[in-house]
Amino acid sequence: MPFGLDRNHYSIFAGIRTNSSMTASQMAKEMGKSSQYVGRVMTSLVEKKLISIQRDGRDKFYEPAIDAIIAYANPNQL
């Protein structure tokens, strides 16, 4: 997998990329994983600069980094 991502990391990244913005709880429900696990994966993706965090009060929304969107884009979509 690109950027050294395993299948779970990539599927979480792909979900964020597809939905534009998600919380860890939203992604956990969608994937059937625990919020804690998804939160750890999202933290790893932030460290790799593939996603960023936007805060709205107590909520943290994860958004894909523009460079990551371009890197993973289908050439037919550009």
6-22, pLDDT tens digit by residue? Answer: 888 888 888 888 888 88
Read off the tokens for 52: 């960023």
**Burial of 44: CB neighbours in 10 Å, binned 0-12, 13-18, 19+:** middle
pTM of the model: 0.77
Which of 47, 60, 43 is closest to 3 using CA atoms?
47
Which stretch of DSSP H or E encloses residue 54?
A: strand 51-56
22-71, pLDDT tens digit by residue? Answer: 899 999 998 899 999 998 999 999 998 889 999 989 989 999 887 666 66
Read off the tokens for 65: 């980094």
